Structure 1
């Protein structure tokens, strides 16, 4: 599919299609989404939708990719800002992930929680681009290992466990399933501190 100049009428329609599809996906689920429903919602023909996206799976893939690239840009900026200190860098990356999820609940649900029973395989090039988000965490851990601050056997596995903890934190907050007696900021801070604590290198034993 050829690229569409930003600011053009086609680009504006594509944006409306994506935004409408995102709302409908979160509101009604994957099975209820159709090109016809999107077309009706924005006042265009279904044919106009197909000029931009071959299928609703292509639309879903585009939304996932958009979210992943926005997250990537935030994580990249955070990694650059905290490039010297591994602990602070990893903590800042964790905070960035949680902040992204809470600020973008629709994207977050589509990226990490939507589970269609039948969906075309996510394109390999988009998967490789999304996987770089995890690399920011792995690289922070590796830098900590180099400096004797962290102990990890496999940085990608360890980075994935951090993501799992953060995902649980974000999911509970978005679903409003955290005990009302618990302050959300304290909940987030504790989750991140506990995730980081698991990688800290043990102090050498004293003879």
Structure 2
């Protein structure tokens, strides 16, 4: 009965949200299940009902965040782009928007550097890039992009988006505040590379 009450009050989602914030602000090694419980106002034993250890909790956060990004990219792929944008540019713009609107998630997914947890992130990062590359390649073929057969183009685009997010995320700027710069950036990523070499 008591366990059921704890389950209703302290959901997995609530634990994950608090832990995500603490992982970013204090680092993976800087927190424990006990400190997460204290932050939530519960004993750490309540957390073990949902997660058997800190590593499992961290991995659950990583998987959930990458699933959200994957779903977003798949939805973008199904709809027409905004006026003045190609489908490739729209995809990159939505990726940047995700990073800036969900800074804690993005930092967990791509920016933590603790050796103990890199393995958890690397496999999900690889899956995410493979999904991005697959969608971009199909768009580039549709758009008859001059560099559609360039094997390094999707990676260059991906790294360009990540660099943009990494730069602006530090200032906690909203997407709307830097939207014009984001649009200009994805246009350069999409077109600048072949204009420079042509």
Q: TM-score, normalised by structure 2?
A: 0.79
Report the equivalent of 1:20.
Answer: 18
Structure-2 change in CA distance of 1:11 and 1:175 (3 Å): same
Q: Runs of 4+ in structure 1 displaced over 3 angstroms? A: 8-12, 145-148, 152-155, 198-202
Any idea what the Cα deviations from partners look like across 1:82-109, whole Å, max 9, x if unmatched?
A: 38xxx71101101110110111010011
Contact 1:150 1:199 in 2 (8 A): no
Take 2:55 and 2:150, find their aligned partners in 1: how far apart are those partners?
Answer: 34
Contact 1:72 1:133 in 2 (8 A): no
Report the equivalent of 2:188.
Answer: 194
Name the SS for the 2:158 alignment partner. Answer: helix
Q: TM-score, normalised by structure 1?
A: 0.75
What is the root-mean-square deviation in Å for CA atoms of aligned residues?
Answer: 3.2
Contact 1:79 1:93 in 2 (8 A): yes
Take 1:17 and 1:75, find their aligned partners in 2: how far apart are those partners?
Answer: 26
Name the SS for the 2:18 alignment partner. Answer: helix
Report the equivalent of 2:38.
Answer: 40
Take 2:120 and 2:172, find their aligned partners in 1: how far apart are those partners?
Answer: 30
Take 1:188 and 1:15, find their aligned partners in 2: how far apart are those partners?
Answer: 31
Contact 2:109 2:121 in 1 (8 A): no
Take 1:147 and 1:13, find their aligned partners in 2: how far apart are those partners?
Answer: 45
Q: Pick one of 62, 78, 81 that aligns with 1:80.
A: 78
Shift in Å at residue 60 of structure 1? 1.3
Contact 1:79 1:136 in 2 (8 A): no
Name the SS for the 2:42 alignment partner. Answer: coil
Structure-2 change in CA distance of 1:154 and 1:54 (3 Å): farther
Shift in Å at residue 81 of structure 1? 0.2
More helix by share: 2
Report the equivalent of 1:159.
Answer: 154
Take 2:98 and 2:172, find their aligned partners in 1: how far apart are those partners?
Answer: 19
Unaligned runs of 5+ in 1: 1-7
Structure-2 change in CA distance of 1:95 and 1:134 (3 Å): farther
Structure-2 change in CA distance of 1:101 and 1:38 (3 Å): same
